[in-house]
């Protein structure tokens, strides 16, 4: 039973007594029995998540023999563990002190509605329900939803809890004041993008993230980790480091350490076309250690930007190949196209030179410098985003 104990944030007192104690939530023995039965109902073959990480760390034979003997007898051919899936990032946070620190650092109060992404078995949710007016939990795995519902009911929190059983990237979030979550690390980038660019209004988001991802989010110009993710998020939000969390605080133990960060939306957001900004930063940071001069001299990039700009009819002083009557054959066509590209390249580099950024690397530039350069490009009719394509936050953050 140790696995289930840990997953539900229970603590085992001793192998002799094998009595279970609930660290924070006041679940009685009958409810624990119900939860165990529920977990048994949802057991699945060990297809996605191999036994080793669980067995090494979590499985305790003494507990299992003493506590769960009666259950095992009834289910001789079955395993009594809640199968956790790596593909869903199911690493449950079990240390009550860490959970308390996260809740406290979020600044949640009795009037707040909290959005939690990926509540899992509810270790963090129960603490949030104690502190907040309401919790909206978005969970994709309906086995977890069942466990959470029962746990909240046992604690008398049903009224305060709304569960949306859906992929958080596809769900529409109702209004909320705060986000507090130990999110599945696999969706970190699109989820942060959705939160900060999705048009939501909230005080802050306190998120437990993979340490490397958090480091990139916190990076400043000149830091080796500084990339497009930090540049884009910094445009609309401030990010602060709260604390590091060891991998040992999770069940099963992941391969990576974690950090908690707090993301606060800025009250004043720069007046910039977001589609243009995302596409522009994607171009600049494609090879973040190249100078801007070198990036904007790349033939493929120049041709791509020429296409985007001329099809939108915004660049007047570049020869418009479509309106050219001088092409007699395909070879002429290519030559004129080549001339276009060269002219356009000179135009691009001229603008970067005017901004004084030709020899600069994007990873060392502030958002103000990048915004200035984008405004010069746009004023000259040079566009980075295909205006016919709709806004796609996820695509803009892809690969980050």
Closest to ligand SAM by CB, 259 vs 295, is 259
Q: How many helices (H) and strands (E) does the chain have?
A: 17, 11
**Does the footprint of ligand SAM cover residue 362 (CB under 6 A)?**
no
109 is in an annotated binding site: no
For 145, the token pair is 């939803």
Residue 93, annotated as binding a ligand: yes
Tell me which residues in 90-129 interact with ligand SAM (CB under 6 A): 90-93, 117-120, 123-124
C-alpha to C-alpha distances, 111 to 133, 199, 204, nearest whole angstrom: 5, 22, 15
Nearer residue to ligand SAM within complex by CB, 91 or 134: 91
Cis amide linkage into residue 252, ω under 30° from 0: yes
Under the criterion CB under 6 A, does residue 8 sit at the interface with ligand SAM?
no
Taking CA atoms, 68 is separated from 19, 62, 63, 134, 287, in Å, by 11, 10, 7, 35, 56
Query: Which two three-digit tokens encode residue 376?
Result: 């010069």
* Nearer to ligand SAM (CB atom), residue 8 or residue 218: 8
String marking each residue 191-230 x if it binds ligand SAM according to CB under 6 A: ----------------------------------------
Q: Does 178 bind ligand SAM (CB under 6 A)?
A: no
Contacts of the segment 65-68: beta carbons below 8 A, 24+ positions apart: 66/15, 66/18, 67/1, 67/18, 67/20, 68/1, 68/36
Q: Is 392 annotated as a binding residue?
A: no
Annotated binding-site residue? 241: no
Q: Is 138 in the site for ligand SAM (CB under 6 A)?
A: yes
Which member of 82, 157, 184, 189 binds ligand SAM (CB under 6 A)? 184
Of residues 372, 377, 323, the one with CA closest to residue 347: 377
70, burial (CB in 10 Å: exposed 0-12, middle 13-18, buried 19+): exposed
Is 268 one of the annotated binding-site residues? Answer: no
Annotated binding residue 139: yes
The residue (of 88 and 217) whose beta carbon lies closer to ligand SAM is 88
Decide: 263 and 205 in contact? Cβ < 8 Å: yes
Candidate list 140, 196, 217, 357; residue touching ligand SAM; CB under 6 A: 140
Residue with smaller CB distance to ligand SAM, 99 or 374: 99
Residues in contact with ligand SAM by CB under 6 A are 88-93, 117-120, 123-124, 138-141, 144, 167-169, 182, 184, 187
């Amino acid at each position: 039973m140790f696995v289930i104990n840990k997953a539900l944030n229970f603590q085992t007192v001793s192998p002799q007594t094998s009595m279970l104690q609930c660290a924070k939530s006041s679940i009685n023995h009958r409810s624990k029995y119900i939860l165990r039965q529920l977990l048994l109902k949802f057991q699945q073959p060990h297809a996605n998540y191999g036994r080793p990480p669980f067995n090494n760390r979590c499985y305790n034979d003494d507990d299992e023999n003493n506590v769960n003997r009666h259950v095992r007898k009834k289910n001789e051919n079955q395993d009594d563990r809640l199968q956790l899936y790596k593909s869903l990032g199911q690493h449950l946070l079990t240390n009550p002190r860490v959970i308390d620190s996260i809740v406290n650092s979020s600044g949640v109060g009795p009037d707040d509605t909290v959005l939690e992404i990926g509540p899992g078995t509810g270790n963090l949710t129960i603490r949030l329900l104690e502190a907040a007016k309401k919790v909206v939990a978005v969970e994709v795995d309906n086995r977890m939803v069942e466990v959470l519902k029962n746990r909240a009911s046992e604690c008398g929190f049903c009224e305060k809890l709304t569960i949306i059983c859906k992929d958080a990237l596809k769900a529409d979030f109702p209004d909320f004041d705060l986000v507090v979550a130990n999110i599945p690390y696999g969706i970190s980038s699109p989820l942060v993008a959705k939160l900060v660019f999705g048009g939501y209004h909230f005080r802050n988001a306190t998120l437990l993230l993979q340490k490397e991802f958090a480091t990139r989010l916190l990076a400043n110009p000149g830091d080796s980790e500084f990339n497009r993710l930090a540049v884009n998020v910094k445009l609309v939000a401030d990010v602060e480091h709260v604390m590091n969390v060891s991998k040992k605080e999770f069940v099963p133990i992941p391969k990576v350490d974690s950090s908690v960060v707090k993301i606060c939306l800025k009250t004043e957001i720069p007046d910039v076309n977001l589609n243009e900004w995302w596409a522009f930063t994607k171009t600049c940071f494609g090879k973040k250690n190249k100078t801007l001069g070198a990036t904007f001299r790349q033939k493929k990039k120049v041709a791509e930007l020429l296409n985007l700009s001329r099809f939108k009819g915004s660049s007047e002083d570049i020869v418009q190949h479509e309106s050219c009557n001088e092409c007699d054959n395909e070879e002429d066509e290519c030559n004129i196209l080549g001339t276009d590209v060269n002219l356009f390249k000179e135009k691009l580099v001229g603008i970067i030179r005017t901004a004084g950024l030709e020899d600069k690397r994007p990873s060392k530039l502030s958002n103000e410098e990048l915004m200035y350069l984008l405004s010069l490009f746009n004023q000259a009719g040079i566009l980075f985003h295909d205006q016919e394509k709709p806004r796609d936050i996820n695509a803009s953050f892809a690969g980050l």
